[in-house]
Amino acid sequence: MQNISTNQHESRVAFVLGGSGGIGAEIVERLADNGFAVAVHYSGNKSKADSLVNQIVNQGGKAISIGGDVADEVDMVKAFTFVEEHFGGIDVVINTAGIMLLSPIAEVSLDDLDKMHRTNIRGTFVIAQQASRRVRKGGAIINFSTTVTRTQLPTYGAYVASKAAVESITLILARELRGKDITVNTVAPGPTATPLFLDGKDEQTITNIANYSPSERLGSPKDIAETVLFLATSGRWINGQVIFTNGGFA
């Protein structure tokens, strides 16, 4: 379940759920570049997570990888405990883990709906519970939604329903953690040039989507990682918010 590639240190510690994915991996690298010890979570791609850990360690950083199902509370208790035992505590929890299955509402498979709700909603609750109990004073919890909660695009109904729930969980948790000096925010990216987004789209479709933004380009994982880094470090006066990181897409 775990891969350990460094000894315990005194750095600030970030636990990135979905850290082996496109945006997640960029966040991991950005945090490591800024001195964080990073725990890289993966669901199925252990080799990618381990490769990222090795890259960070070879550059003098501190990183470990750990697998598990974000919607399984037993897995996540073990994962959070492992990170705490290895690094001495947790300061920032970033939950990028999620799945997206698209279909018109009239045709959506209820099995697909259940899969998204399990990962995107139950998973967010499981992570939020562990993070709210374990993140140290001065820390941050950062969830992930999507700009599509505001653009109302066809075929996104079931997915958006799950991500709208993430936004609501965030707003309430921020207020429930009153007095603990822990911020809770959600980052809601617009169209971002990751393999997941680009897969199955022809060049003209991608160009049309990019041109919809005033910036006339897609976002990059680096754009999203910069927002996360700000919330994880100096953005202490931002709390209980949904940050639409989309270049003006909506």
Active site residues: 159
| Longest alpha-carbon distance in the chain | 52
Calculate ∠ Cα 196-199-203, nearest 5°: 130
CA dist 187 and 142 (Å) reads: 7
H or E segment to which residue 222 belongs: helix 221-232
> Treating both helix axes as pointing N-terminal to C-terminal, what angle do 221-232 and 22-33 enclose, rounded to 10 degrees?
50
Tokens of 175: 């207020």
Q: How many other C-beta atoms are found inside a 10 Å radius of the C-beta of residue 231?
A: 24
74 class by beta-carbon count within 10 Å (0-12 exposed, 13-18 middle, 19+ buried):
exposed
Q: What angle (nearest 5°) sits at the alpha carbon of residue 66, between those of residues 64 and 70? A: 140
Amino acid at 180: K
**Which two tokens mark 145?**
């939604």
Instruction: Give the SS3 label for residue 101.
Output: coil
